């Protein structure tokens, strides 16, 4: 049952990414602009005199969305492959492959959406995010495993 739930989480997250990539440029921009406005309001509360370049901040938020969405995919994929009984090394390889292939296919999909384009830099950002997700999973599971061995549980 844990395997099924783990893979279901991967598929659902991939569907979320697919849905976001399928938004036309105007919809996608509205979403990131909304997030940018929230960030600007928060910054203004802390530093009222701060000068914020809205366009640059929006770009940073969009790229961070790529990074963090694939960080989550990396975590979920690694968990799913480990739940299937694969070794850590094999799970790292399979998860990396899955995330990079999905990032490439995601950019190809995006190239067919009105007002959107495929960007190799986005594939690199996605892949880096996934890699950090895999690293986080590995670090947390290593600490957990050491803790269990030391405490005999």
Which residue is associated with the tokens 């296919």? 105
Q: Is the pLDDT of residue 153 over 90?
A: no
Q: Is the pLDDT of residue 49 over 70?
A: yes
pTM summary value: 0.90
Residue 112 is predicted with a pLDDT of: 95
Q: How far apart (Å, rounded) are the C-alpha atoms in residues 23 and 134?
A: 27
Residue 150 is predicted with a pLDDT of: 85
Contact 52, 40 (CB under 8 A): yes
Residue 115 is predicted with a pLDDT of: 93
Which is it for the CA torsion 68, 71, 77, 80, positive or negative? negative
What are the residue boundaries of the structural domains of the chain, listed by start? 2-151
| pLDDT per position as a tens digit, 93-134 | 999 999 999 999 999 999 999 999 999 999 999 999 999 999
């Amino acid at each position: 049952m844990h395997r099924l739930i783990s893979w279901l989480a991967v598929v659902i997250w991939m569907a979320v990414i697919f849905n976001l990539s399928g938004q036309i440029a105007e919809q996608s921009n509205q979403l990131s602009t909304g997030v940018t406005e929230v960030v600007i309001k928060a910054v203004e509360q802390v530093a009222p005199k701060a000068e914020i370049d809205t366009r640059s901040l929006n770009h940073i938020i969009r790229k961070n969305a790529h990074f963090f969405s694939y960080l989550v995919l990396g975590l979920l994929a690694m968990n799913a492959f480990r739940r299937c009984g694969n070794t850590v090394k094999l799970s790292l390889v399979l998860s990396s492959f899955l995330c990079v292939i999905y990032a490439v296919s995601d950019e190809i999909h995006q190239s067919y959406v009105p007002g959107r384009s495929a960007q190799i830099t986005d594939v690199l950002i996605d892949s880096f995010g996934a890699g950090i997700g895999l690293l986080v999973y590995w670090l947390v599971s290593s600490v957990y495993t050491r803790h269990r061995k030391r405490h005999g549980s």
